[in-house]
Amino acid sequence: MTDADSSSFLQPGAVIRPVIDPEGVQLLVERLYGISVLELTELNGYDDRNFRITEDPNVKNPLITTHSPHGYVLKIMNAMDSQNVEVVEAQNEIMNYLNARSVVCPKPVRNVYGHLHSVETLNGKQHAVRLLEYVPGELFKNVPKTEALFYQLGEFVANLDNKLQNFNHSGLVSREHIWMLSKVPELDKFKFAVKDADKQELAEEVIEEFKYAVVPRLDELERGVIHGDVNEMNVLVAHKPGGSETEHRICGIIDFGDIQYSYYVFELAITMTYVMLTTGDPRHAGYVLAGYTVNRRLPDDEYRLLKTLISSRLVQSLVLGAYTREQDPDNAYVSSTEKANGWELLRKLRKSKPEVDDPTDWKSIANEYLTRS
């Protein structure tokens, strides 16, 4: 095994996910936050562990000065990211920054020592531990999908990036993380986990295309702090006021574990990728583009990179999903992209050619939607 300390980002063989049982979680919450747990549910996570906490209202603790009406989420960060406490601080600060600017997202909670995080030893490894107020809302993946909702998502992401233009944190400037889209060339080290030869060849093709089509252009792209993982599990929706049961609106965003100083076009590409994965139809990404470009300019040279960037995010998710499943067979969440027909979608994108009704002509789809609206 390679120890997590040996690199600034994930290397094959590293075991970085926190090891803790439900009883250990309850003891941790009580010791650090003075909360007696009534209910405990583990939420999805790749390398981190996340637990929804409902406190026992019958047990009062004088150390607790505020109460979250919807409960809490305890986040235990993986051993690698926990080495950089500046990243933990940046995640707390970005949530407070966005909350102050009317973006609905979790709020960090101070522990009994007055701190927004602590570093705890679990199973011999150091892990950053935080508590966040739980934000109510339905997940994007669980509601009926409409063109209007995709458009709203594009609007929301553009507005998010616009607000983050003025957010800076030293902990993000030098952050290295295998899930950053700029790290696609590093997937060469993990592609062995894809056992099917045709799929591995397809992944290699995309990785090489990223190296020659995107990497030389990086210095030309507009940069800033991005969320880095806008997907169907991290976007919150609510019923549209006055609308039917099937009408929803984007109302918030969660999970800032992938925040990074990167490229705004990467944020858009990631969002479009997960919309396509959710529906299986590449056309739907065009409605996201429509909403995004109404609120944020996308230069033509950046637009031309979208298909490569989206293909690269699919490969990143498929390759790292296969690798993580090999390391942690019980973690079903890591296979979500594969289960959503990610390989089939990737092949569809790679085969598409400019023609009439091309499902990846997202600019035409966006323009047509804006004309109709």
What is the Cα 342 distance to its own chain's centre?
Answer: 17
CA distance linking residue 66 with residue 85, whole number of Å: 25
CA distance linking residue 120 with residue 27, whole number of Å: 12
What is the Cα 269 distance to its own chain's centre?
Answer: 12
Q: What's the helix, strand, coil split of the chain in %, to 5?
A: 45, 15, 40
Tally of CA atoms within 13 A in the half-sphere of 355 that contains its CB: 4
Quickly list DSSP for 123-138: TTEEEEEEEEEPPP-E
> The tokens of 246 are what?
């099937």
For 225, the enclosing helix (H) or strand (E) is strand 223-226
Helix (H, G, I), strand (E, B) or coil at 224: strand
Our answer to whether residue 229 is catalytic in this structure is yes
Catalytic residue among 47, 48, 161, 229: 229
CA distance linking residue 274 with residue 337, whole number of Å: 9
Residues designated catalytic: 229
